[in-house]
């Protein structure tokens, strides 16, 4: 049973985008448009080049922002405020997900490559505000993004989690490699599974997956 693999878990670490809400909300579509526009404006390139750079930096540095900071010295605060100015019209409250997360034993944490203020907005729209003991944005990792080891050093150290009693849920398989190396239980939340050694579990439905873990009496 799935639950037996999580009986020792006391810290639950969740990514935000496309993890605590489904990809069908399409927030990233909005952010990609804003990122491309930002790169065009700030670097003085056309749309095709901005799209190329945005994707290239994501592949090489983990996030577009990390590449922009490394190669162009951009102001991360201004960038994050701009690209996260998205509408949340398609975010819906999932009452069962709310109950499942509330029932998880121990500490509940959000760890996102987005900003803390953006995460707070999304959690509120999803009905999940007040359920997490901590919300860590990329600023709490010194603007170093997952999957960089330095990001986990900063956030895990700040939170004081014990890796062997922690689990991490993320939609990007790259972001689960370092947690796996450190001893966390890893869950890939995505429409399609990937057969990778550092992924312990896959689900395309976080609500249903957590329903297999939390005690029935709690929900």
Are 185 and 120 members of one domain?
Answer: yes
Span 96-121, pLDDT tens digits: 999 999 999 999 999 999 999 999 99
> Which structural domain, as residue segments, surrounds residue 39?
27-83
Do both 9 and 103 map to the same domain?
A: yes
> pLDDT tens-digit profile of 26-35?
999 999 999 9
- Find, among 144, 213, 145, 219, the residue nearest to 175 by Cα: 145
CATH number of the CATH domain containing 63: 1.10.150.450
37 and 17, same structural domain? Answer: no
Domain count across the chain: 2
Residue 157 shares a structural domain with residue 212: yes
Residues 78 and 35 in one domain: yes
Same domain, 50 and 136: no
Residues 120 and 78 in one domain: no
79-117: b (≥16 Cβ within 10 Å) or e:
bbeebbebebeebeebeebbbbbebbeebbbbbbbbbbe
Walk along the chain (219 residues) and give the pLDDT tens digit of each residue: 899 999 999 999 999 999 999 999 999 999 999 999 999 999 999 999 999 999 999 999 989 999 999 999 999 999 999 999 999 999 999 999 999 999 999 999 999 999 999 999 999 999 999 999 999 999 999 999 999 999 999 999 999 999 999 999 999 999 999 999 999 999 999 999 999 999 999 999 999 999 999 976 444
């Amino acid at each position: 049973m799935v639950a037996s693999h999580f009986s020792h878990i006391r810290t639950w670490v969740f990514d935000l985008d496309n993890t605590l809400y489904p990809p069908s909300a399409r927030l990233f579509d909005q952010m990609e448009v804003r990122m491309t526009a930002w790169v065009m404006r700030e670097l003085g390139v056309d749309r095709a080049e901005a799209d190329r750079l945005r994707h290239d930096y994501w592949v090489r540095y983990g996030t577009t922002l990390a590449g922009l900071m490394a190669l162009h010295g951009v102001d991360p605060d201004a960038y994050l405020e701009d690209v996260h100015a998205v509408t949340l019209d398609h975010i819906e409250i999932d009452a069962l997900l709310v109950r499942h997360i509330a029932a998880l034993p121990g500490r509940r944490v959000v760890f996102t490559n987005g900003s803390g203020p953006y995460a707070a907005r999304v959690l509120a729209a999803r009905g999940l505000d007040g359920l997490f003991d901590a919300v860590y944005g990329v600023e709490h990792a010194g603007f170093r993004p997952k999957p960089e080891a330095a990001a986990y050093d900063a956030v895990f150290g700040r939170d004081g989690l014990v890796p062997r009693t922690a689990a991490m849920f993320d939609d990007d398989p790259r972001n689960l490699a370092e947690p796996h190396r450190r001893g966390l239980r890893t869950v890939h939340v995505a429409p399609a599974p990937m057969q990778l050694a550092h992924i312990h579990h896959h689900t395309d439905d976080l609500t249903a997956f957590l329903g297999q873990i939390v005690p029935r009496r709690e929900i």
